Amino acid sequence: MAHTTNRQEQIEQVVVTAQQMREIEGRIFEAGMPVAALMEKVAGLISLRLQALFPLSHYHRVGVLVGPGHNGGDAAVVARELHLQGYEVLIYRPIAKLKELTSGHTQYAASLGIPVYEQIEPLQNCDLIIDGLFGFGQTRSLSGNLADAVNRFNQGSQPIVSIDLPSGIHTDTGEVLGTAVRATRTFCLGLWKLAFLQDQALEYIGKAELIDFGIPAQDVWAILKQPAGLLRMSATVARNYLPLPRPAVTYKYKEGHLLLICGSRRYAGGAILTGLGARASGVGMLSMAVPESLKPLLVSHLPEALIIGCPETPAGAIAHLPEAIDLEDYSAIACGPGLTREAKPVIESVIEAQCPLVLDADGLNILAELRTIPTLLRRKTPTVLTPHVGEFKRLFPDSAGLLPDRVSAVWKASQLSRAVVLLKGARTAIAHAGSSVWLIPESTPALARGGSGDVLTGLIGGLVAYPSLSEQPLEAIVATAAWWHAQAGILAAQERTELGVDAFTLTQYLMQVVQKATLMP
């Protein structure tokens, strides 16, 4: 796991499945931690956080949904603690048969004067709802009266806070099991669950935060081993894979030489945006192969780059690479944005390159035409693929059946292709055969704009080209670029709104991300 040694940083980075969480908790209980004591500790932390976020002065009446398992037990203790702090608390308990601890806590809450209802009507006018119906590990669909109750709570205007996971969300895939609570906030307990990094769960999770209740690191690693299978990229980790600080004595070629092959007369902007993304990476030398007719345009936008004009097809695509380009001269090649499918001979040439290769956009579409797996298995050096979902389905039809479980799909694709596969989305996933799957925990819908992916391609190519990073895991370098790209989008959206982040604007925020990351303690 990167170079992270601090326990809190490790815990923030880890992502677990439902089964892994069960095994980790099992070790804690086997070591002597009473379940009741842990429940009290967790519920106490939740209660304190709720009081900070939802003060009594504004959220006097609180409805607590208590389910049958230990998640319901947590909720019952939270109900008791809020009651003791002066909140007017009402409990909704839709299922009569509860686990022993949950039953005991609910009974004690009732003895304090907290009303317990089997119908939701008394809770309809609450200022805040706490969802403790089901935690991690739920597999059955919500149906009948329970589903009706969840849907009615969702229709209300009051904020809803879910404990661990919104009830009705599958822990691993993020699938909605019949229906699910649409939480305003979700307090994930102990370790991040995989659902928090799956696109299909995001509209139900709301704002997510981790409630760290002190799981010992040795118990985590006893189950997950190192490196862990699923990891969240963060600013702390990304700093390990940024080419900073530079040596006091260096020169441009020692800081990498990237070749970009991109653009056509129809999609000239793709070449410009890819070049601007590469520029932001700080790569020592940038060369760009573009159609001859685009050369003056590219020189005007990227005067520091070496712009190489290529023979064109009648439609303005690159017909083939000129003899002046020796693919052995570069530390990495990134290819695809704006090419059009007419550039098939170009992809056939670069597939033979003996340096790391990044393929995007029409580079991916042409690769699919060439038969993805057999073509990639011929390569002796690393390949990075950066598809969106549509491109992914064309590249990996055998893996696409696992969608919308993006993590499983990208992992299988990486195993089959031996490539680093980055699957774009609200929560981008990056996988490499035999290694960890990296997940990007934050992004913004502001990046759903034409050209954003071109910027990412240039940024990835620039980082991959650095000789100083060549000994680092390639998937971690790619994940760092994806994190950097997402953070730039977030910063831009904060200043310009989600409508104001065009791809060119995005490139102007890339340096601010690095400045913030390097200034962190």
3-state SS, one letter per residue, for 37-68: HHHHHHHHHHHHHHHHHCCCCCCCEEEEEECC
pLDDT for residue 2:
42
Residue 500 marked ligand-binding: no
Give CA–CA dist 69/461, Å, rounded: 49
Residue 451 marked ligand-binding: no
Residue 139 marked ligand-binding: yes
Give CA–CA dist 232/2, Å, rounded: 11
Residue 454 marked ligand-binding: yes
Residue 140 marked ligand-binding: yes
Question: What is the set of domains in the chain, with CATH numbers?
Answer: 7-232 (3.40.50.10260), 235-519 (3.40.1190.20)
pLDDT for residue 518:
76
pLDDT for residue 6:
75
Residue 284 marked ligand-binding: no
Residue 32 marked ligand-binding: no
Residue 69 marked ligand-binding: no
Residue 331 marked ligand-binding: no
Residue 453 marked ligand-binding: yes
Give CA–CA dist 140/142, Å, rounded: 6
Residue 329 marked ligand-binding: no
CB atoms within 10 A of CB 315: 12
Residue 185 marked ligand-binding: no
Residue 73 marked ligand-binding: yes
pLDDT tens, the chain, 521 aa long = 444 457 777 888 899 999 999 999 999 999 999 999 999 999 999 999 999 999 999 999 999 999 999 999 999 999 999 999 999 999 999 999 999 999 999 999 999 999 999 999 999 899 999 999 998 999 999 999 999 999 999 999 999 999 999 999 999 999 999 999 999 999 999 999 999 999 999 999 999 999 999 999 999 999 998 666 899 999 989 998 999 888 899 999 899 999 999 999 999 999 999 999 999 999 999 999 999 999 999 999 999 999 999 999 999 999 999 998 999 999 999 999 999 999 999 999 999 999 999 999 999 999 999 999 999 999 999 999 999 999 999 999 999 999 999 999 999 999 999 999 999 999 999 999 888 899 999 999 999 999 999 999 999 999 999 999 999 999 999 999 999 999 999 999 999 999 999 999 999 999 999 888 877 76
> pTM of this prediction?
0.92
Residue 494 marked ligand-binding: no
Peptide bond between residue 245 and the one before it cis (omega within 30 degrees of 0) = yes
Residue 137 marked ligand-binding: yes
Residue 136 marked ligand-binding: yes
Residue 424 marked ligand-binding: yes
Residue 71 marked ligand-binding: yes
List the structure tokens of 302: 């990227």
Residue 201 marked ligand-binding: no
Residue 449 marked ligand-binding: no
CB atoms within 10 A of CB 439: 27
With CA atoms as reference, report the closest residue to 307 among 355, 349, 274: 274
Residue 418 marked ligand-binding: no
pLDDT for residue 368:
97
DSSP H or E stretch at residue 274: helix 268-280
R_g of the chain computed on alpha carbons: 26
Residue 517 marked ligand-binding: no
Query: Could you tell me whether strands 61-66 and 207-211 are parallel, antiparallel, or unpaired per DSSP bridges?
Result: unpaired
pLDDT for residue 229:
87
Residue 135 marked ligand-binding: yes
Give CA–CA dist 233/442, Å, rounded: 9
Q: What is the DSSP string of 332-376?
A: EEEE-TT--GGGHHHHHHHTT-SS-EEE-THHHHHHHHT-HHHHH
Give CA–CA dist 495/517, Å, rounded: 18
Residue 489 marked ligand-binding: no
